[in-house]
Structure 1
């Protein structure tokens, strides 16, 4: 049996397993895509598809991003958001039925339609009128390709169930598409994606990009050996604001940062540090991930193919580059410990230099008076 046929290892597929749960009320691409080409976790993947995905992962193919960027409540809020993604009439905003809205008045009319649908079904309940998402790729990808893939993604995932509007933005280093979806579906289903749904959206968007010649992936963090989440956009913005204006302090984010630093200092300087259960779990999780890739590498090495052996070497290099599975407080504790050791080392070297050649390194202050019987000699 060829190595590519054997690569569907349970441990490897578990490492790539998508988050569970979610409503999954949107099933268009799950039915459309063939095995191994789309969201493969829900269907049987062939060995060739697993091998191709492994190659993309160890080559560190760009990861697509699909995230919820906000929730709008009321027609006025929806209209303001649609005007923002349309740059107040400067960009075309495309709807699900192919219409291109180029005026602020047209965007406000669309927002009013969504508000009327929401009011007719929710009867005054406080629910979002629309939910906005951002689909993006790293810099260097052709914006028109990203736009076309996002258009296909929205057609498949949202289709005839939800009204939506979208616009391409190219004013940052990486092209991205804003997709705003009416929360009330045309068939009475609410649009409220969960974590698992967003991962499925990532896989669908990645499929559309690969179909257009863009190498990319949509793997969970653990598949790349990552155990720590990145800071939320709001947290990053507050941190940037603090760098610009150090006096602007306060809020839950500041208290969280102080707590993390306090925990880090305690871990770094305690004789018997008390690590959290989550830290031990992260260590065991990454150990299992590393073992899954090592098992795949061993299978590839037993193959008679030079390409398989080269891939095995790439897999081991990929595993070797995985970051340590440390939480923010544990990573900060490591850095504090490193600095403490550097300070102690510098002080020790300074003392030795001072004893060897006092004329070169004179004391910075007068020596303290001696104590004991030799004091008056």
Structure 2
């Protein structure tokens, strides 16, 4: 007989929160009512199910580095790029469409002179360029609609932004440019937890539009491979190899990556144990799926192969013991000594 469901739900949330948060360490969980516990546990089971069945992961990335050129000059170049010099339609925070080279130039002037304004040169970012992407085969209109809803939820406080959906590559993606200063003058300063929330919210909006999408950390899925930057991707497409780019990890790097996943393995193990102790059949089935999922993780497959040990002479304990009847006098001389 399994444990009570309320106990299983509490254990599931305890270890599930550790598994899906970064870093992988325990934080004091808020007190929940019985109804709240059931609701949160239901969401956790749904997230586990999405992860176990390999639901496509969203990508949300800030593409302009803090160390790169900033100011209106850089903003102007990026707006021209995402609009393909006016050939690709932009949409702003009010839902207004911006099409054509002249309309893009008007937008540039509005951003430069309106509101708090954007200086021609700056030592810090005045606009965040955000890339929202999904794997090839995803419905492009759904990605565009989800990006629109995501931007309204995250930046719909009067902050100026525009976005453009690109259809010239296999993976549907949207370029979103958001002014750093809001209407009250406060500047955006996204941290890791903000980027994680952006991914989760974008995935939620995709699901609202009928696209099965997930937002989990690479470590949670045992993924160690990082995708090359856009510059490296373009160089490889031209047949060029970057001087300081290494495509294959060494055994030491793979072993370090495996050790870095110790906390992940522990969390998955405890989630599986909790589900296996449930009286609900689907929970126990999920526990078995977790075992298979962890075994198939890329970090497990990339573990260094141990070197073969040289053969050694058998020890005394390894040597075959002679038959009692073959010994002289029918007794083992070692025993007599």
Under a length normalisation based on structure 1, what TM-score does the superposition of the two structures give?
A: 0.67
1:15 paired residue number:
19
CA distance in 2, matches of 1:208, 1:230: 24
Is residue 290 of structure 1 aligned with residue 284 of structure 2? no
CA distance in 2, matches of 1:91, 1:120: 25
Q: C-alpha deviations, 1:231-274, integer Å up to 9, x for none?
A: 33323333444xx25xxx7xxx52353xx98x94xx6xxxxxxx
Change over 3 Å in CA distance of 1:6–1:44 after alignment to 2: closer
1:114 paired residue number:
111
Partners of 2:118 and 2:126 within 8 A in 1: no
Cα RMSD (Å) of the superposition?
3.4
Helix, strand or coil for the counterpart of 2:289?
Answer: helix
CA distance in 2, matches of 1:139, 1:55: 22
More helix by share: 1
Q: How does 1:1-377 map to 2 (within 5 A)?
A: 1-2=4-5, 5-18=9-22, 46-70=40-64, 73-117=70-114, 120=117, 125-241=122-238, 244-245=239-240, 254-255=243-244, 257=246, 264=250, 279-280=255-256, 282-324=257-299, 334=304
Change over 3 Å in CA distance of 1:83–1:126 after alignment to 2: same
Partners of 1:168 and 1:178 within 8 A in 2: yes
Change over 3 Å in CA distance of 1:19–1:113 after alignment to 2: farther
Count of residue correspondences: 290
Per-residue deviation, 1:17: 0.5
Partners of 2:72 and 2:121 within 8 A in 1: no
Q: C-alpha deviations, 1:281-317, integer Å up to 9, x for none?
A: x434423312222222222223233322221221111
Helix, strand or coil for the counterpart of 2:164?
Answer: strand
Structure 1 unmatched ranges of 5 or more? 21-34, 36-42, 268-274, 342-377
Per-residue deviation, 1:4: 6.0
CA distance in 2, matches of 1:124, 1:170: 32
Per-residue deviation, 1:125: 4.3
Runs (4+) of structure 1 moved beyond 4 Å? 117-125
Helix, strand or coil for the counterpart of 1:115?
Answer: helix
Change over 3 Å in CA distance of 1:44–1:120 after alignment to 2: farther
Change over 3 Å in CA distance of 1:132–1:19 after alignment to 2: farther
Per-residue deviation, 1:50: 0.9
Helix, strand or coil for the counterpart of 2:243?
Answer: helix
Q: C-alpha deviations, 1:122-143, integer Å up to 9, x for none?
A: 6964233322111011122211
